[in-house]
Amino acid sequence: MAHSIVIFGASGDLTSRKLIPALYSLFKKKRLPADTRVVGFSRSPFTNESWRASLTETTKKFSDGDFDEATWNEFAKGIYYHAGDIEAQADFDSLATLLQEVDCAKSCTRVYYLATAPHLYATAVSRLGSAGLASEETGPRRVVIEKPFGTDLKSARSLNEDVHRVFREHQVYRIDHYLGKETVQNLLVLRFANSIFEPLWNRNYVDHVQITVAEEVAVGSRGAYYEQSGVVRDMLQNHLLQLLMITAMEAPARFEADLVRDEKVKVLRAIRRSQPAVLAQETLRGQYQGYRQEKGVPADSQVATFAAVKLQIDNWRWKGVPFYLRSGKEMSCRTTQIVIKFREPPHSLFELDGDGDGKMSSNQLVIQVQPAEGIQLEFLTKVPDAGMQVRMTDLDFRFRREFAGQLPDAYQRLLLDAFNGEASLFARSDEVEEAWSIVDPILACWNSDLAPPLHFYAPGEWGPSEATEWMRAQGRDWFDVCPVIG
Ligand code: BG6
């Protein structure tokens, strides 16, 4: 069946940096039918030819050395552009006519990708409905919705209602590109395809879990957007909670969209909703020095560019095991990592050697999500020729050593899944709403008299020093280690 994708927000950054290079790579790998059509929709005055020309340049730049002129030319024959305004129904009606001509004379699978400004999502969906473009008479019709899905629980609910007026839930694909990352999917494999980890993956053996998404980049030119989102809406509500769900969920009976998402939602439901006074103690907010000088940021901005949050999952597996989540911009290095810190042995017989920090360290499993994709298991080993002194050593698995070739960009997997109707790696309506119901009280606390102080940190640090002290006060240490790539 012919495939087509209509991209709203076609002249935007996401389209040229991620979506088109991902579609082109899929086409090159022959994962998409030869007659795949891509239709761009935005207000910019491109023609088919000028949009193709512009995408030729950007794809060369963003396809990581994967660009092949002849294959691109073949792919580009299926690229069309429709100049239009999301507010104008007539532009959707003419889009419907164009689509009829280019992709779907008989039957086709069609994906509508909303890569536009989020406040336009509801309008775009409603116009698609009015133009008859949501009807599945001649094949599947799916809508992919970028983040942010709402700005709080109320707006997410309202957006879900707007979307459900036109599309049924099985047609809706809410994207979180973290789920498209190979290493995040591999976490499911690590946990549920191996038998040695799962017996230890619970409160009996795990002391705590750390999930860190540290970024080296600053907010830069995105100041106006960031002022509205801050780190909590930009990273915590979506990417970090997704990582938490995959780490903490029970095994689904089968790898099927609803079974996987049922288990993920159960984790969110089990997260303790704490009172503001508790949240004030269990969350920490920071801002990098220099943020207030970014374009579009007021000189007295209170927006957090760093957050650390302690969450408790009140269920049989995790009761009493804190999950520490943190994320920030302008940090020491770019690293996304999940650390499963195991309990100390009940009684220690041996001494750490002089290179240790004097404490008997416990085992940990470090899942390197990016950029040094891999897994390390740390355990104590006898130092040779040093009596019975022991030292932490590790088993070190790296994707790049084990498998040839580059890891594909997350958007490749997710776009392919959207074409194929595989929704396991997309968020369901209840999942998004539950995630907001965890984050809303944190934001409310931060906007109240109980708000924890905003700590400033120098670029290139692991966030504010108070985050280190906060962790130490709980008898723990952050895993502040920049990954070694190679
Ligand atoms: C986006 C955020 O969703 O994720 C950005 O809006 C952030 O602020 C980005 O930089 C991080 O994604 P990745 O894949 O580079 O870790």
Ligand 1 atom index nearest CA of 222: 8
Look at ligand 1, atom 10, and give the residue with the nearest C-alpha.
215
* 176 touches ligand 1 (CB under 6 Å): no
**Looking at residue 476, what is its pLDDT?**
96
Q: Given the DSSP bridges, would you call strands 141-145 and 108-114 parallel, antiparallel or unpaired?
A: parallel
Contact 482, 332 (CB under 8 A): yes
Q: Which two tokens stand for residue 151?
A: 């700005």
Q: Given the DSSP bridges, would you call strands 206-214 and 322-328 parallel, antiparallel or unpaired?
A: parallel
Residue 69 makes CB contacts below 8 A (sequence gap 6+) with none
The one-letter code for the residue type at 134 is A
**Looking at residue 48, what is its pLDDT?**
97
CA angle (345, 475, 364) in 5-degree steps? 45
Q: Does the bond joining 464 to the residue before it have cis omega, within 30 degrees of 0?
A: no
Residue 100 makes CB contacts below 8 A (sequence gap 6+) with none
Sign of the alpha-carbon torsion through 171, 174, 179, 181: positive
Tokens 């002290």 — which residue?
Answer: 469
CA distance 162 to 158: 6
Q: How far is the CA of 217 from the centre of ligand 1 (A)?
A: 10
* 409 touches ligand 1 (CB under 6 Å): no
Look at ligand 1, atom 15, and give the residue with the nearest C-alpha.
215
Burial degree of 475 (CB within 10 A; 0-12, 13-18, 19+): exposed
How far, in Å, are 134, 349, 380 from residue 386 at the CA level? Answer: 71, 15, 14
Identify the DSSP state of 92.
Answer: H
Q: Which residue in 241, 400, 257, 255 sits closest to 323, CA to CA?
A: 241
Q: Does the bond joining 148 to the residue before it have cis omega, within 30 degrees of 0?
A: yes
Contact 16, 55 (CB under 8 A): yes
CA distance 193 to 187: 10
Look at ligand 1, atom 2, and give the residue with the nearest C-alpha.
234
Q: What separation, in Å, do the N-terminal and C-terminal C-alpha atoms of the chain show?
A: 42
The one-letter code for the residue type at 269 is R
**Looking at residue 360, what is its pLDDT?**
58
**Looking at residue 357, what is its pLDDT?**
55
Q: How far is the CA of 360 from the centre of ligand 1 (A)?
A: 36
Count of helices and strands (H, E) across the chain: 16, 16
Query: Quick check: helix, strand or coil at residue 465?
Result: helix
* 234 touches ligand 1 (CB under 6 Å): yes
Residue 138 makes CB contacts below 8 A (sequence gap 6+) with 104, 106, 107, 108
Residue of 215, 216, 217, 306 best suited for mutating to test ligand 1, as the one with most atoms within 8 Å of CB: 215
**Looking at residue 351, what is its pLDDT?**
85
Q: How far is the CA of 123 from the centre of ligand 1 (A)?
A: 25
Residue 421 half-sphere exposure toward CB, CA atoms < 13 A: 11
Cβ atoms < 10 Å from Cβ of 188:
17
CA distance 75 to 27: 7
Look at ligand 1, atom 5, and give the residue with the nearest C-alpha.
234
Show which residues are catalytic.
239
**Looking at residue 395, what is its pLDDT?**
97
Residue-range domains of the chain with CATH: 2-146 (3.40.50.720), 179-472 (3.30.360.10)
Q: How far is the CA of 141 from the centre of ligand 1 (A)?
A: 28
Q: What is the dihedral of CA 249, 254, 255, 256, to 10 degrees?
A: -100
Tens-digit pLDDT string for the chain (486 aa)? 789 999 999 999 999 999 999 999 999 999 999 989 999 999 999 999 999 999 999 999 999 888 999 999 999 999 999 999 999 999 999 999 999 888 766 788 999 999 999 999 999 999 999 999 999 998 999 999 999 999 999 999 999 999 999 999 999 999 999 999 999 999 999 999 999 999 999 999 999 999 999 999 999 999 999 999 999 999 999 999 999 999 999 999 999 999 999 999 999 999 999 999 999 999 999 999 999 999 999 999 999 999 999 999 999 999 999 999 999 999 999 999 999 999 999 888 888 887 655 455 799 999 999 999 999 999 999 999 999 999 999 999 999 999 988 899 999 999 999 999 999 999 999 999 999 999 999 999 999 999 999 999 999 999 999 999 999 999 999 999 999 887
**Looking at residue 141, what is its pLDDT?**
97
Query: Quick check: helix, strand or coil at residue 104?
Result: coil
Identify the DSSP state of 54.
Answer: H
Look at ligand 1, atom 4, and give the residue with the nearest C-alpha.
235
Ligand 1 atom index nearest CA of 226: 8
Total number of residues shown for the chain = 486
Contact 148, 432 (CB under 8 A): no
Q: What is the dihedral of CA 90, 93, 97, 102, to 10 degrees?
A: 100
Contact 238, 148 (CB under 8 A): yes
CA distance 236 to 132: 36
CA distance 354 to 81: 66
Q: What share of the chain is helix, strand, coil (3-state, %, to 5)?
A: 40, 20, 40
Identify the DSSP state of 461.
Answer: B
Q: How far is the CA of 192 from the centre of ligand 1 (A)?
A: 27
pTM for the whole structure? 0.97
What residues are paired with 118 via a beta bridge? none
Contact 388, 350 (CB under 8 A): yes
CA 107 to mean position of chain CA atoms: 33
CA distance 167 to 128: 10
